[in-house]
Structure 1
Amino acid sequence: MKDVYEIAVVHGDGIGPEVCGAAVEVVRAALGSDGPLRFTEYPAGAEHFMRTGDSFPASTFQACRDADAILHGAGGIPGVVRADGTEAGLDFTLRLRFELDLYANIRPVRLFKGVTSPLRGVGAGDIDYIILRENSEGLYAARGAGALLRGEVAVDTLVQTRKGIERIVRKGFELARQSKGAPEDGVRRVTCCDKANVLRSYAFFRAVFDEVAADYPDVATEHVLVDAMAMHLVLRPAHFNVIVTENMFGDILSDLAAATVGGMGMAPSAEIGEAKGFFQAAHGSAPDIAGKGIANPYGTILSAAAMLEWLGHKHEDERLSRAADHIRSVTEACLADGLLSADLKGTASTHQIRDAVCERVMRDHARLKR
């Protein structure tokens, strides 16, 4: 346990400052005025790139590297690109993943009471699984390293290593062991999602998965091809517990999955390595609604709760673990009570959601201190 935890806050672009600001206020409310977290803001993103020509200042990277955890709002603005056509605002997220070796991207997918799924006949409790996205390799490892020849041929390389596969698969089995199992049958299950029937790189991923699985005989396993998985997440989401997959596949599937539980505003994520953790909702910057006060902060609030849980476990600090539990339970209660943002077909503003969650967690904090 530490006296003070340094949290690097990067609000980013579009709705980033609105949702990130809401999450910071909720964490402060959950921990009280004497809480051990110290939040310091740093610049990065597409808007900073437009002002300065630098999307990720060296001073911000150093602060993130030195911090106990990093909390982010959202990054990128469509059309704000570098000379090679890639989005300038994405540098922040991608550099942290690769340079801090944040190899595990944990994306919980859960349908809460009060939120309507577009899937017919599916209700709260029917969807509750994790997409575990390998975060440091795969096709995205080629960013900045691919080739464009004479404006005629472009090549990016998909990279899979034994070490990278082994550690993400082990993380998947650990998460399954800690879970309640799949909603459908209560079975703790890890699903390997790949394209092993076509590409050697994915056949290698599957082979290493099977080797690691032998160390976890108490957890069920299965293989599902990625194209079939896209169908199964719509037709039988209650079957899944933990899905482990390559970087790009995880990116795509987690967006599809988010749509089944209310949209990207309900999509928290935790990106962790052996030493560092980076927390943000999986949604983009949504510049079309920025400043209107209607952005959904729940995804970022739940990401902040994941940050507290990770810090609490890492440093054996029950204060942080309890605060994470309180934020999650209050979030669940607010959604069940109908406090819904516009994307969830509600009328609550970002500030109304923030204030309601803060009020309830402060009440819980004061009650527990008595």
Structure 2
Amino acid sequence: MKDTYTIAVVHGDGIGPEVARAAVAVLQAGVQAGTLRFVDYPAGADHFLKTGDSFPAASFEGCRTADAILHGAAGIPGVVHPDGTEAGLDFTLTLRFKLDLFANVRPIKLYKGVPSPLGRPGPIDYVIVRENSEGLYAARGAGALLREEVAVDTLVQTRKGVERIVRFAFELARTRNGSPKDGRRRVTCCDKANVLRTYAFFRAVFDEVAKEYPDIEAEHVLVDAMTVHLVNKPTHFDVIVTENMFGDIISDLGAATVGGMGMAPSEEVGDGIGFFQASHGSAPDIAGKGLANPYGTILASILMLRRLDQRHRDSRLKLGADRIEAAVCAGLEDPALRTRDIGGVAPTNQVVDALLKRL
């Protein structure tokens, strides 16, 4: 337990500053005064346009030494480095690899009052655990383009990388209440083991680790079948573990079933610091119009409090997380406090003001 926890806040681009400000305001109202200290750092595409540097060294150092990192959103279409890569992505990718944030955790939960395109699918409440440092995305910047005719990227899986992400998923399952459908604690391995050796290796290591957790049910689902199951039987799942690119894809699909990207928080964690943000992008088309959905970033801030409490055993953090989550649940049940992406018309500030009053 610490007296004060330093939170590095990077507002980013587009609607990033709007949702980051919303989350900070809610955290300040929901957590005991003096518990959290917020420090702003610049990074992103907008900062790149102003200075030529998308992630200053001072910002990285501030993030590295903080207790947690809270982020708004990154990227502006067309703002790229000379090699064509997006300037805004430097921030997230640098943190992932330099801080070894190997686990990308995406809760997929349908809150009461939020419409789902699936109609009335029942209680959706599962977590996608995405390996965050290997897989196909490990080839970023290292692929080959030959004579403008052939392009090659390499999919990388290591035993260490697969073992630790699978073990992370099983440990997470032990803390949950199981599948909403049958109450069984279950970890599902999502792969393409029937076609590619890399995924067959991922599955083999998964099976080895699963033997250490006889109390948790283990199963396999091929990624193409998974896209069907997340639509047809989402209540079956508890924890899903998968490779980097597959996790990127199916977590967006899962988010669509629970109200969209504005309702999808994300945490990226390793053995130390954590990085927290909503899963959505910077949405520059609505930036500054007061239309952004702040719930995703506020839900990410709840994940941040719970992760800090897990590390430091601080009742102030747990109480704050519980209070903010209760306010969010109450807000979402009120049709007047839903933004347009989840079936309402409430502007960002109306949602935030109402949450602050509840807190």
Q: Given the two structures, how large is their TM-score scaled by the length of structure 1?
A: 0.95
Deviation at 1:62, TM superposition (A): 0.8
Distance 2:66 2:40 in 1: 11
Aligned to 2:35: 36
Give, as a single letter, the amino acid of the residue that structure 1 aligns with 2:22. A
Is residue 2:320 matched to residue 1:323? yes
Aligned to 2:117: 118
Aligned to 1:147: 144
Aligned to 1:12: 12
Give the alignment of 1:1-370 within 5 angstroms.
1-32=1-32, 34-123=33-122, 126-338=123-335, 339-361=337-359
Give, as a single letter, the amino acid of the residue that structure 2 aligns with 1:28. Q
Deviation at 1:43, TM superposition (A): 0.5
Aligned to 1:367: none
Percentage of matched positions with identical amino acids: 70
Q: Which secondary structure state, in structure 1, belongs to the residue aligned with residue 55 of structure 2?
A: coil
Q: Which secondary structure state, in structure 1, belongs to the residue aligned with residue 218 of structure 2?
A: strand
Distance 1:82 1:293 in 2: 30
Give, as a single letter, the amino acid of the residue that structure 1 aligns with 2:341. D
Give, as a single letter, the amino acid of the residue that structure 2 aligns with 1:60. S
Q: Deviations over 1:31-71 (max 9, x none)?
A: 24x23211010110111111111111111111111111000
Distance 2:333 2:95 in 1: 35
Deviation at 1:99, TM superposition (A): 0.8
Structure 1 runs (4+) deviating above 3 angstroms are none
Q: Deviations over 1:268-322 (max 9, x none)?
A: 0111110110000000000000000010000000100111111111011110111
Q: Deviations over 1:4-42 (max 9, x none)?
A: 21111000000000001000000000124x232110101
Distance 1:22 1:234 in 2: 31
Q: Deviations over 1:78-134 (max 9, x none)?
A: 2111222221101100110111000111100000111110003324xx210001111
Q: Deviations over 1:183-216 (max 9, x none)?
A: 1111110000001111111000000000000000
Distance 2:225 2:81 in 1: 35
- When structure 1 is superposed on structure 2, of 149-158 and 290-299 the one drifting more is 149-158
Q: Any stretches of 5+ residues in structure 1 without a counterpart?
A: 362-370
Distance 2:178 2:112 in 1: 19
Q: Which secondary structure state, in structure 2, belongs to the residue aligned with residue 88 of structure 1?
A: coil
Contact 2:173 2:186 in 1 (8 A): yes
Paired residues, what number? 358
Distance 1:325 1:301 in 2: 12
Distance 1:325 1:16 in 2: 24
Q: Which secondary structure state, in structure 1, belongs to the residue aligned with residue 72 of structure 2?
A: strand
Q: Any stretches of 5+ residues in structure 2 without a counterpart?
A: none
Give, as a single letter, the amino acid of the residue that structure 1 aligns with 2:160. K
Aligned CA-pair RMSD: 0.9
